[in-house]
Amino acid sequence: MLRFSGSGVTDVGLVRDHNEDSAFVGPYLALVADGVGGAAAGEIASATTTYAVSALALGRPDADPREVLREAVALARVQLLEGVTHDVRRAGMATTLTAVATDGSRVALAHVGDSRAYLVHEGRLAQLSSDHTYVQQLVEQGHLTTDQARVHPWKNVVLRALPGSDVGEVEVADVLELDVAPGDRLLLCSDGLSDLVTDDQLSEALALGDPQSAAATLVEEALAAGGVDNITCVVLDVVDGPRVVGDGVLLGAVRDLHNVVNPSAVQTP
């Protein structure tokens, strides 16, 4: 049975005065959510989304992980809308979301925004997600190189995020099944890490033996590079073994339930 064995680290960084990132690390679900910088109540958006997605997924352990993630994203959107309805000062709040889930045989990824997912397979690093940013769009159109995109002044202009405003029934998140195997390693991270740490540094840190050491090393490298944003990373080993008991660990803004719009909203069987 496939599951995850991993660890996460989050840090406020050296410039921000509070952490708008949230994360969850568990044996069958892990995620990173980054409250969109400059928007109102980013920590509310990331915490509410993390809580809703993790709670719903824990209640659907044997369901198709793609459908679980789609359902969880829809629930999070409803909760963000409710949060704005109850407090108009939250208008405009939004968050990225990058999540992986497994039912023991299939692994799925849900992604919206510019928090990233990477895979290390047989020692090779590959980016699984594609940033929903203006600059990434320019790269895909051939107007910028990847190196130019890293230093572009608009690199953090996010075109798609999980919103607190009603955008209708548009499919907000990309959801896809992943081809992973025992022995692979996954990295989920906010842009506070990926903006400052190179692919070579990612590869070197992810080659460390245990996920906790890898995650801690990556956060330290982002801090050494300036720490201009909140930094969150989750490192997961894909393992094959018996089902384990354990809900998982919450990190960042979601640890304060005052940041969650409605903790009782998730109904599970």
Residue 223, domain extent: 2-259
Burial track 192-204 (b if 16+ CB lie within 10 A, e otherwise): bbbbbbeeebbeb
Closest CA to 31 of 173, 148, 241: 173
Per residue in 20-76, pLDDT (tens digit) is: 999 999 999 999 999 985 567 999 999 999 999 999 999 999 999 999 999 999 999
CATH number of the structural domain spanning residue 145: 3.60.40.10
Answer whether residue 32 is part of any domain.
yes
Q: How many domains does the chain have?
A: 1
Answer whether residue 265 is part of any domain.
no
pTM across the whole model:
0.93
Answer whether residue 247 is part of any domain.
yes
E-only strand ranges, 91-230: 94-95, 97-102, 107-112, 116-121, 124-127, 162-163, 174-178, 185-189
Closest CA to 32 of 208, 245, 236, 239: 236
Alpha-carbon distance of 159 to 211, in angstroms, equals 31
The fraction of the chain above a pLDDT of 90, given in percent, is 76
Structure tokens at 161: 């995020």
What are the φ/ψ torsions at residue 47 (nearest 5 degrees)? Answer: -70, -45
Q: Is the pLDDT of residue 196 over 90?
A: yes
